[in-house]
Structure 1
Amino acid sequence: MLKTLTRYKTLYLMLIPGIIYLLINNYAPMFGLIIAFKDINFAKGILGSDWVGFKNFEYLFKTADAYIITRNTILYNIVFIILNLVVAVALAVLLNELRSRFFSRFYQSVILLPYLISSVIIGYLVFSMLSAETGLVNKTILPMLGIDPVMWYNEWQYWPYILTFVKVWSSAGYLCIVYFAAVVGIDQEYYEAAKLDGASKMQQIFTITLPLITPVIIIMTLLQVGRIFYSDFGLFYQVPLDSGVLMPTTNVIDTYVYRSLLRNGDIGMSSAAGLYQSVVGFIIILASNYAVKKINPENSLF
């Protein structure tokens, strides 16, 4: 052991700043978990505040909105994971077919553009499309189709489709680049052998491309599954403009906690919600990884 340390002492010294950063940035803040079990009193401080056990967790489960926010959070994330996977893989395969030095970079830039735009800007872009008075949809598209204008921000039934479209539009580009990098890394000899055997382009995709990028697909999916109890706050708060009429389809755990914090100022309740999301997400990703490991150990995350 000592011989190994001496031999690679330079590498270990280079590792120290990274370890220090990891401890300060990722582990030191975990001390704040005790806030979820306390009735925070700023005069007493965090350590001096009274313990309340699991009382801070009760408001997530006893409120009348508990079912709605949990349902929305889980169902939206399931749909997002599935659609992002399908769209991103399809785009990656398409990019691979169109690949050349100029076009690959051009298409990567175009696809990544929505991902680089912040949720706030996306919210304004959506508003410019759906505004009842000046929106492109009401002023241009619907009249061309002979359809009466729609008060989008007063009609909750349209928003599951709107939010799903915006989410896929804004995040599939990033996933596409990840999958595209995996596709580009496939040895071209596989495709050449398939062509000699008379395989069509679709057969090559389903027998070579998809099977060889399956480990990357599983890893990316597992990482998303681990955050299934989290939501894109900007998407569900900024895009619907915090409209109360739309809450049956736009209210999720994150937005509910945020509104509760603004209304009640209870940090303990907000911390409890965050801890609840983290623990459940951790359990889900362990279970998902275990299932993958049982089916194919080589494709598991760990």
Structure 2
Amino acid sequence: MKLQPVLGKEPKVLEPTIKTRRKKNSFFRNLMKYKVLYLMLSPGVIFLLINNYLPMFGVIIAFKNVNYRDGILHSPWSGFENFRYLFSTSDAWEITRNTLAYNSVFILLNLLIGVGIAILLNEVKNKYASKIFQSVMLLPYFLSMIVISYLVLAFLGRDSGFINATVFPALGIEPLDWYSEPKFWPYILPLVNTWKNIGYYVVIYLAAVVGIDEEYYEAAVLDGANKWKQIKHITIPFLYPLMIIMTLMQIGKIFSADFGLFYQVPMESGALFPVTNVLDTYVYRTFLVGGDMGMSSAAGLYQAVVGFGLVLISNSIVRKINSDNALF
């Protein structure tokens, strides 16, 4: 039976209300069904909110002339003055160049050396030897940068360093004051960074290599493929998605330098500032030591925005080439 309009009004349609109720009931049913999983998920979500999202309130500091008397909310707005000063300094080009150049080298070395060593370790069939190699490589990753800075000093010290006191005399070379020679540090810093962090990337890539089905290699052997062809046509293609994800994650931090590496390892030598001064150390020396919260916050926001933009651009390029390998 059809509903007739009453006093010129159209009859109410109840279907959307019924659908809404069904969705709500379905949501609550799923919530109760998977309540244990949601409970297990909640600590991670709470941690993420507290450590990653609540601090975003501090972004407004970058646009304010903060003074401690009025507090953050009541301090006067400064617009983009903090950013203008950051880019108008004489060191702006130097710190930007150093930050981008070093991080680009780090990304490349972590990718090539990490994948290469992971493939080599996979060929070690003795499980005890493999575990020892992995442990030895991963150990530096857990060392403090202060400890590493003194290890570097033990090698490069002017009077008692291993190279000056042992290696150079044996070769008939005059000792060098490494901490006053900027030309060597563009090579020293990538070497130290790779030694410290490569174990982390090796473990990740090795886990992916071990997960490749052995049947692919057996079929390749039957077809007459040697070890190099197996790596080229089986191992590397299977590692592509992980390699892209790891690279994109590092690109997101390309404007954020390792403060300990560039501050502790060179021992705060002023002679090395032209090649060791990066955005993080510059912010520390110029703004944080001087107590200028607005300038340091502006630099941090600049790093985050540029890193986010680079990740979006890189991911869009990867998506155009192969959408299956894109991060999102």
TM category, shorter: over 0.9
Which piece of structure 1 moves more, 64-73 or 115-124?
115-124
**Counterpart position of 1:125:** 151
**Counterpart position of 1:249:** 275
Compute the displacement of 1:173 (Å).
1.1
Q: Partners of 2:83 and 2:279 in 1: how far apart?
A: 13
Which piece of structure 1 moves more, 233-242 or 259-268?
259-268
| Structure 2 contact 145–261 (Cα < 8 Å) conserved | yes
Q: Partners of 1:173 and 1:267 in 2: how far apart?
A: 36
What do the CA deviations read for 1:158-181 (whole angstroms, capped 9, x no partner)? 110010110111111110110000
Aligned CA-pair RMSD: 1.2
Structure 1 gaps of 5+ residues are none
Which residue of 290, 293, 301 maps to 1:264? 290
| Structure 2 contact 110–201 (Cα < 8 Å) conserved | yes
**Counterpart position of 1:80:** 106
**Counterpart position of 2:11:** none
**Counterpart position of 2:21:** none
What do the CA deviations read for 1:232-268 (whole angstroms, capped 9, x no partner)? 1111000001111101100000000000134421011
**Counterpart position of 1:277:** 303
**Counterpart position of 1:8:** 34
Answer with 1 or 2: which has the greater Rg: 2
Provide closer, same or farther for how the CA distance between residues 93 and 17 of structure 1 changes in structure 2, counting only shifts above 3 A.
Answer: closer
Q: Partners of 2:90 and 2:320 in 1: how far apart?
A: 39
**Counterpart position of 2:9:** none
Letter in 1 for 2:261: L
Letter in 1 for 2:109: L
- Give TM-score, length-normalised by structure 2: 0.89
Compute the displacement of 1:113 (Å).
1.2
- Give TM-score, length-normalised by structure 1: 0.97
Which piece of structure 1 moves more, 14-23 or 292-301?
14-23
In the alignment of these two chains, the number of paired residues is 302
1:169 correspondence with 2:195: yes
Q: Partners of 1:168 and 1:265 in 2: how far apart?
A: 33
Letter in 1 for 2:272: L
Compute the displacement of 1:58 (Å).
1.7
Compute the displacement of 1:6 (Å).
3.4
**Counterpart position of 1:209:** 235
Alignment of 1:78-117 (within 5 A): 78-117=104-143
Alignment of 1:48-87 (within 5 A): 48-87=74-113
Letter in 2 for 1:227: K
Compute the displacement of 1:145 (Å).
1.5
What do the CA deviations read for 1:169-224 (whole angstroms, capped 9, x no partner)? 11111101100000000000111111111111111111111111111111001100
Provide closer, same or farther for how the CA distance between residues 13 and 166 of structure 1 changes in structure 2, counting only shifts above 3 A.
Answer: closer
Letter in 2 for 1:256: Y
Provide closer, same or farther for how the CA distance between residues 23 and 206 of structure 1 changes in structure 2, counting only shifts above 3 A.
Answer: same
